[in-house]
């Protein structure tokens, strides 16, 4: 029997879709699931693709069905289950075989697993896969971390199944050990920020301008034809237009206002802070989801505190204010991307990955959740200035920030005065204002710290450094 080019363990929704994608692109694949019944069901429903699939009911049968060196995708719940599955696999593997974790793993787990196999004949790939169920089935964005040799073994298969943007495959080897999963984590952090900002604009349209869900859908539809063109704006238009079949009400109006999270947004915030990079948009988005989940507490708080005393939402020229909202959302999104790329740049230096920023922007142009029109511009900006400190100081994006600054300022101030929460939009404005201000206020913080002996300070004139405590001598 012809051996498979690759194997896959875990036939849940994501695993099944990825396996079908691999088979459909002409690659023979061996599949295994802990439950043999799930393997049989998957094969029975594979239809015309059955000829490309080798269903296996034991690990021994599964590994024997794959051409060495064997690349094996593990598509199961992240964390301990992956470690357990790897231990079960090891007795059946040979020199050069590659275990590939394609789940939403913490990059630190990926680095640990890679290190544990360093002196063994086996190796490991941490592979970020973005695009959800639809992407897995028809073409995801794929971010690979591991040795270059192991990448070359899987490059043909992964290129065939990846999303394509104008013919360019949205897959790349990004560096050693945890590089792929780290980039996927930051992708998800940007996604959190993007979704939060869109939701805040929706709140202004709903509670400020008093538009219906259908009317707001039309607004997002128009925006999707311009500079905001992106997958998230596209699906926002669609979900706002959807009707609940039970009540006949707009679907969005019957959905509980409590959003969950899977951990990658939180990891993005933690790693940004560990690396000393401000990622305030992502932080605001994660905090927003946490607050949203506290529904019962929010209901009680409104009873006790009431809503804030506010000025009435200003009567404005509707067309003009909608234009401001569009520009404000564009500005805030730019801030989120800039912060995400800044975190990746810091991690690249910290872990020696040499992350290719233009390539990351390229492979996010299709397949992934945050695909958007201006990723082409981000690619161009980093190609021209690969070592730039921050995306927003490149010529194209500096101009965009200048062009949208006034709109973002008007939208945030209007929302705040009307009592509408816009934490992510406000964080973007504060980020821009803080980053571009040469003379800030941290000198007072340093003076306070030095007063109680916590830290020395650097003088503006560079003459000397004083180390506290000051005691009573404020002129010392």
φ, ψ at 141 (rounded to 5°): -90, 130
Other Cβ atoms closer than 10 A to 456: 13
CB 176 within 8 A of CB 353: yes
> Given 184, 266, 333, 362, which residue is catalytic?
184
- Running DSSP on this structure, what letter comes out for residue 234? H
184 is known as an active-site residue: yes
What does the pLDDT read at residue 448?
86
Instruction: Tell me the β-bridge partners of 125.
Output: 100
* CA dist., res. 70 & res. 157, Å (int): 13
CB 368 within 8 A of CB 187: yes
> Given 41, 57, 90, 191, which residue is catalytic?
191
Tens of pLDDT, residue by residue, the chain (476 residues)? 689 999 999 999 999 999 999 999 999 999 999 999 999 999 999 999 999 999 999 999 999 999 999 999 999 999 999 999 999 999 999 999 999 999 999 999 999 999 999 899 999 999 999 999 999 999 999 999 999 999 999 999 999 999 999 999 999 999 999 999 999 999 999 999 999 999 999 999 999 999 999 999 999 999 999 999 999 999 999 999 999 999 999 999 999 999 988 788 999 999 999 999 999 999 999 999 999 999 999 999 999 999 988 777 766 566 789 999 999 999 999 999 999 999 999 999 999 999 999 999 999 999 999 998 889 999 999 999 989 999 999 999 999 999 999 999 999 999 999 999 999 999 999 999 999 999 999 999 988 888 876 566 676 766 555 555 554 444 44
191 is known as an active-site residue: yes
* CA dist., res. 16 & res. 411, Å (int): 44
Buried b (16+ CB within 10 A) or exposed e, 216-254: bbebbbebbeebbebbbbbebbeebbeeeeeeeebbbee
Q: Is 164 helix (H, G, I), strand (E, B) or coil?
A: strand
What does the pLDDT read at residue 472?
44
What does the pLDDT read at residue 152?
97
Q: Is 344 exposed, middle or buried (0-12, 13-18, 19+ CB in 10 A)?
A: buried
What does the pLDDT read at residue 468?
54
């Amino acid at each position: 029997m012809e051996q498979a080019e690759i194997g896959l363990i875990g036939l849940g929704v994501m695993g099944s879709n990825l396996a079908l994608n691999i088979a459909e692109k002409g690659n023979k694949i061996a599949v295994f699931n802990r439950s043999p019944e799930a393997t049989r069901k998957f094969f029975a429903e594979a239809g015309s693709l059955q000829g490309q699939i080798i269903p296996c009911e034991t690990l021994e049968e599964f590994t024997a069905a794959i051409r060495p060196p064997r690349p094996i995708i593990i598509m199961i719940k992240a964390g301990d289950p992956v470690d357990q599955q790897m231990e079960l696999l090891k007795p059946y593997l040979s020199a050069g075989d590659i275990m590939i974790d394609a789940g939403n793993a913490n990059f630190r787990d990926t680095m640990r697993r890679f290190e544990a196999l360093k002196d063994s004949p086996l190796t490991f790939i941490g592979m970020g896969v973005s695009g959800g169920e639809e992407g897995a089935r028809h073409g995801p964005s794929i971010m690979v971390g591991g040795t270059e040799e192991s990448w070359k073994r899987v490059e043909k298969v992964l290129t065939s199944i990846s999303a394509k943007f104008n013919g360019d495959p949205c897959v790349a080897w990004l560096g050693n050990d945890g590089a792929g999963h780290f980039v996927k984590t930051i992708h998800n952090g940007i996604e959190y920020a993007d979704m939060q900002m869109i939701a805040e604009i929706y709140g202004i349209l709903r509670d400020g301008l008093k538009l219906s869900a259908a009317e707001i859908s039309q607004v997002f539809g128009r925006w999707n034809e311009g500079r905001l063109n992106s997958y998230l704006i596209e699906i926002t238009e669609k979900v706002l237009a959807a009707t609940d079949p039970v009540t006949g009400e707009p679907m969005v109006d019957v959905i509980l206002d409590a959003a969950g999270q899977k951990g990658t947004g939180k990891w993005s915030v933690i790693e940004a802070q560990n690396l000393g990079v401000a990622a305030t948009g992502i932080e605001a988005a994660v905090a927003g989801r946490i607050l949203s989940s506290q529904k019962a507490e929010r209901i009680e708080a409104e009873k006790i505190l009431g809503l804030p005393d506010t000025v009435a939402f200003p009567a404005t020229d509707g067309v003009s204010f909608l234009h401001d909202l569009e520009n404000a959302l564009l500005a805030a999104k730019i801030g989120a991307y800039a912060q995400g790329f800044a975190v990746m740049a810091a991690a690249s230096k910290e872990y020696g990955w040499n992350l290719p920023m233009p390539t990351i922007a390229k492979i996010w142009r299709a397949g992934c959740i945050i695909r958007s029109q201006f990723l082409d511009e981000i690619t161009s900006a980093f190609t021209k200035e690969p070592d730039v400190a921050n995306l927003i100081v490149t010529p194209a994006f500096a101009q965009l920030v200048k062009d949208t600054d006034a709109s973002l300022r008007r939208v945030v101030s209007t929302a705040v005065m009307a009592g509408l929460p816009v934490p992510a939009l406000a964080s973007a404005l504060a980020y821009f204002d803080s980053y571009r201000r040469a003379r800030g206020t941290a000198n007072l913080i340093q003076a306070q710290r030095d007063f109680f002996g916590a830290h020395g300070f650097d003088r503006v004139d560079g003459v000397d450094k004083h180390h506290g405590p000051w005691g009573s001598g404020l002129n010392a």
